[in-house]
Structure 1
Amino acid sequence: MTDSQEYRFQVNLGGMIDILSNHLYSSPRVFLRELLQNATDAITARMDLDPSHRGEVYVELAGSGTGATLLMQDNGIGLTEEDVHEFLAMIGHSSKRNGTELLGETSFIGRFGIGLLSCFMVSDEIVMLTQSAKGGPSIEWRGKPDGTYSIRKLDAALSPGTKVYLRCKPDTDFYFEADTVELDLLHYGALLPYPIRLSEGGRERRINGELPDWIVRPERAAGSRDEVLRFGESMLGERFRDFIPLRTSTGRTGGIAYILPHAVNLNAKRSHKVYLKRMLISEQADNILPEWAFFVKCLIWTDELQPTASREHFYENEQLERVRCELGESIRSELIAMSETDPKRLGRIIEMHALSMKNLAAEDDEFYRLIHRWLPFESTYGNKTLGELLDERRTLYYTASLDHYRQLRHVASAQSMLVVNGGYIYEAELLEALPRIVRGADTRRLLPEDLSLAFTDLNAEERSAALEASRAADLALQRFRCRVMLKRFKPEELPALFTLPEEAATLRSIERAGEESPQAFASVLGSLGGSMQSGAGSYSILYLNLNNPVVQRLFMGRPTSRLGTLVEMLYANALMMGHYPMSRQELALLNTGILSLIDWSMESEKGE
Structure 2
Amino acid sequence: MSEQNEYRFQVNLSGMINILSNHLYSSPKVYLRELLQNATDAITARNKLEPASRGQVTVDIAGSGSNLTMTVDDNGIGLTEEDIHRFLAMIGHSSKVGEDFLASETSFIGRFGIGLLSCFMVSEEIVVLTQSAQGGPSMEWRGKPDGTYTIRKLETRLSTGTRIYLRCKPGCESYFEPETVKELLFYYGALLPYPVILRASGLQETVNASRPIWIEEPELARGSRQEVLAFGQRLLGERFHDFIPLRTANGRTGGIAYILPRSVNLNARRTHRVYLKQMLVSDQAENILPEWAFFVKCLVWTDELQPTASREHFYEDERLQEVRSELGQAIREELMRMGEYEPDRLQHMIGLHVLSMKALAAEDTEFLSVIYRWLPFESTYGERALGELLDEGKKLYYTLSVDEYRQIAHVAAAQSQLVLNGGYIYNAELLEHLAYLKPELQLERLVPEDVSLAFTDLTLEEKNRYYEAIRMADAALQSFKCQIQLKRFKPAELPALYTLSKESSALRSIEKAKESSPDLLASVLGNLGASLNEAAYSTLYFNLDNPMIERIFSAAHPQMLPAAAEVLYTNALMMGHYPMTRQELSAMNRGIIRFIDWGLEATAENGGTSV
What TM-score do the two structures reach when normalised by structure 1?
Answer: 0.96
- The aligned runs of 1:158-197 (5 Å cut-off) are 158-197=158-197
The structure 2 residue matched to 1:600, chosen from 591, 598, 609, is 598
Distance across 2 between alignment mates of 1:7 and 1:221: 59
Report if aligned partners of 2:94, 2:110 keep a CA contact under 8 Å in 1: no
Contact 1:95 1:107 in 2 (8 A): no
CA shift for structure 1 position 145 = 1.5
Shift of 1:144: 1.4
Which amino acid letter does the alignment assign opposite residue 16 of structure 2? M
Q: 1:273 is paired with a residue of what secondary structure? A: strand
Query: Post-superposition shift, 1:297?
Result: 0.6
Q: Tell me the secondary structure at the aligned position of residue 440 of structure 2.
A: coil
Ranges in structure 2 where 5+ consecutive residues have no aligned partner = 607-611
Per the alignment, do residues 52 and 355 of structure 1 end up closer, same or farther by CA in structure 2, a change over 3 Å counting? same
CA separation of 1:413 and 1:405: change in aligned 2, threshold 3 A:
same
Q: Deviations over 1:201-232 (max 9, x none)?
A: 22222222231211111000000111111111
1:111-190 aligned within 5 A: 113-190=113-190
Q: Tell me by how many angstroms 1:310 deviates.
A: 0.3
What is the Cα deviation at residue 11 of structure 1?
2.5
Unaligned runs of 5+ in 1: none
Shift in alpha-carbon separation, 1:72–1:328, aligned structure 2, 3 A: same
Which one-letter code corresponds to 2:271 in the other structure?
S
In structure 2, what is the equivalent of residue 437 of structure 1? Answer: 437
Match of 1:460 in 2: 460
**1:17-56 alignment runs, 5 A limit:** 17-56=17-56
| Alignment of structure 1 residues 533-548 onto 2, 5 Å | 533=533, 535=534, 537-548=535-546
Residue identity in the other structure for 1:579: H
1:558-569 aligned at under 5 Å gives the runs 559-569=557-567
Partner of 1:73: 73
Superposed counterparts of 1:520-535, under 5 Å: 520-533=520-533, 535=534
The Cα shift of 1:295 comes to 0.4
Moved more, 574-583 or 482-491: 574-583
- For the 8 Å contact 2:449–2:500, the answer to whether it is kept is no
In 2: Cα distance, 1:97 partner to 1:390 partner: 63
Comparing 132-141 and 391-400, the one that deviates more:
391-400
Q: Does 1:511 align with 2:511?
A: yes
Q: What is the DSSP-based 3-state SS (H/G/I as helix, E as strand, rest coil) of the residue aligned with 1:483?
A: strand
Alignment root-mean-square deviation, CA:
1.8
Query: Once the 2 structures are TM-superposed, how far is the Cα of residue 106 of structure 1 from its aligned partner?
Result: 6.3
| Contact 1:457 1:487 survives alignment (8 Å) | yes
Residues 1:426 and 1:484: Cα distance change in structure 2 (over 3 Å): same
* Paired AA for residue 88 in structure 2: L
Given the alignment, which residue of 564, 568, 592 partners 1:570?
A: 568
Query: CA offsets per residue over residues 59-98 of structure 1, 9 Å max, x none?
Result: 1112222221111001111111121111112222243565
Distance in 2 (CA, whole Å) between partners of 1:99 and 1:456 is 88
Cα–Cα, structure 1 residues 97 and 354, in superposed 2: closer, same or farther, change >3 Å?
Answer: closer
Aligned partner letter, 2:270: R
Q: Is the Cα–Cα contact under 8 Å of residues 407 and 448 in structure 2 kept in the other structure?
A: no
The equivalent of 1:358 in structure 2 is 358
Q: Give, in whole Å, the separation in 1 of the partners of 2:594 and 2:388.
A: 50
**Contact 2:256/2:299, CA 8 A, preserved across alignment:** yes
- The answer as to 2:422 corresponding to 1:422 is yes
- Once the two structures are overlaid, the 10-residue window that deviates more, 314-323 or 202-211, is 202-211
1:561 to partner: Cα distance: 3.8
Q: Deviations over 1:30-56 (max 9, x none)?
A: 111100111111111112222332211
Give, as a single letter, the amino acid of the residue that structure 2 aligns with 1:151.
Answer: I
Which residue number corresponds to residue 291 of structure 1? 291
| Residue in structure 2 matched with residue 255 of structure 1 by the alignment | 255
Residue by residue over 1:424-445, the C-alpha shift from the partner in whole angstroms, topping out at 9 and shown as x without a partner, is 1111111111122224122222
Paired residues of 1:94 and 1:107 also in contact (CA < 8 A): no
In 2, distance between residues paired with 1:158 and 1:104?
27
| CA deviation vs aligned residue, 1:114-146 (integer Å, no higher than 9, x gap) | 000111111121100001122211111111122
Percent identity over paired residues: 65
Assess, with a 3 A threshold, how the Cα gap between structure 1 residues 554 and 112 changes in structure 2: closer, same or farther: closer
Work out the CA distance in 2 between the residues paired with 1:73 and 1:414. 78
Amino acid at match of 1:428: A
Counterpart-to-counterpart distance in 2, 1:103 and 1:483: 79
1:14-413 counterparts in 2 under 5 A?
A: 14-95=14-95, 99-102=99-102, 105=105, 110=110, 113-413=113-413
Per-residue deviation, 1:539: 0.8
TM-aligned CA deviation for residue 602 of structure 1: 1.4
Q: 2:588 aligns with which of 587, 590, 598?
A: 590
Give, in whole Å, the separation in 2 of the partners of 1:196 and 1:596.
85
Deviation at 1:179, TM superposition (A): 2.2
- Preserved CA contact (<8 Å) 2:499 2:538: yes
2:281 corresponds to which letter in structure 1? I
Rate the CA distance shift 1:342–1:107 in 2: closer, same or farther, 3 A.
closer
Q: Is the 8 A contact 1:48 1:104 kept in 2?
A: no
Q: Distance in 1 between matches of 2:468 and 2:110?
A: 89
Alpha-carbon displacement from aligned partner over 1:524-547 (angstroms, at most 9, x marks no partner) = 2223223321x2x31111100010
CA distance in 1, matches of 2:449, 2:166: 80
Structure 1 residue 103: Cα displacement:
6.9
1:44–1:104 CA contact under 8 A, matched in 2: no
